[in-house]
Structure 1
Amino acid sequence: MSDSTPPSLVDLAYGLGSSRRQSPPLSFVTLQEYRCVLSWFLGWGTTQRQQFLEDLISKAAPGKVCSLLTQLTTMQVRDRPPNIFECQLRLWTQWFESWTEEERNAFLNRLEETDPMFVAQFYTGVAGTAGRD
């Protein structure tokens, strides 16, 4: 990858090369979803950003990372309604799962424009999953 385009999530997760092609324009709905997540991100504290980072890494390297948040939500032990952050992560997951790979990569690019250090931590975290089964 000699160009300045960051590697795709699949490239990061599995170390595969991919051919670069022109990305299709993003839909209005997808752009609004990006804006929501980035707005939430800017309002999150350190702990929430760390949980989001773990979730993002688990999405980039599925099967290699078992996030704490995923484990907790599968336990179904609740004596209180979900908080705003938990609702935001649920929406984030629904949106992320509906996005194409190109849309996911475009989101990561926008997140990098917002917080390059966070995305650097993401790259480091994904690289740390190499060799895990």
Structure 2
Amino acid sequence: MSGSRPPSLVHLANGLGIATTQSPDHHSSFVTLQEYRCVLSWFLGWGPSQRQQFLEDLIAKAVPGKVCSLLAQLTTMQVKDKPPNIFECQLRLWTQWFESWTEEERNTFITRLEEADPAFVAQFYTGVACTAGTV
């Protein structure tokens, strides 16, 4: 069966409903696309307080060094007697993935997040602008 080849990642991605069109300014890998989908799925299931925490984390990642909350830093350094909850595990994975993404991939993620929740991303942009003192 020389004509029988395994499906390509692009074909598999299309079957999963993942956009794979590669424009000159969009070079996200298949793995990164899966990470986007995962975080967006979590985001859609989070309640208001979890989304607020994610927003603060996203702003801190977008403008590192500008957002310097001592209380937030102390919270992440606390020793806990209980294992992390699912939300905390999701945020840890999110951080690992975000740190591995290129700036372009991070921007693509924000675009995808904006498609899912434009009001949330508007809050994000307002928060980033506040760190620069422009609002």
| Shorter-chain TM band | 0.7 to 0.9
Q: Conserved in 2, the CA contact under 8 Å of 1:60 and 1:126?
A: yes
**Equivalence for 2:117:** 115
Structure 1 CA distance, aligned partners of 2:74 and 2:51?
A: 18
User: What TM-score do the two structures reach when normalised by structure 1?
Assistant: 0.78
Query: Which of 73, 79, 82 lines up with 1:80 in the alignment?
Result: 82
Q: Does 1:34 align with 2:36?
A: yes
Q: Could you tell which deviates more after superposition, 58-67 or 81-90?
A: 58-67
Structure 2 CA distance, aligned partners of 1:118 and 1:24?
A: 23
Structure 1 CA distance, aligned partners of 2:57 and 2:73?
A: 8
Structure 2 CA distance, aligned partners of 1:22 and 1:40?
A: 29
Q: Structure 1 residue 64: deviation in Å?
A: 1.2
**Higher RCO, 1 vs 2 (CA within 8 Å, ≥6 residues apart):** 1
Q: Structure 1 residue 33: deviation in Å?
A: 0.1
Alignment of 1:47-126 (within 5 A): 47-66=49-68, 69-75=72-78, 77-126=79-128
The CA RMSD over aligned residues, in Å, is: 1.8
Q: Deviations over 1:52-110 (max 9, x none)?
A: 000000001101113555431223x2011000000000000000000000000000000
Q: Could you tell which deviates more after superposition, 79-88 or 62-71?
A: 62-71
Q: Any unmatched runs of 5+ in structure 2?
A: 1-22
User: What TM-score do the two structures reach when normalised by structure 2?
Assistant: 0.77
Q: Conserved in 2, the CA contact under 8 Å of 1:112 and 1:118?
A: yes
Structure 1 CA distance, aligned partners of 2:73 and 2:45?
A: 22
Structure 1 CA distance, aligned partners of 2:115 and 2:101?
A: 19
How many residue pairs are counted as aligned between the two chains? Answer: 111
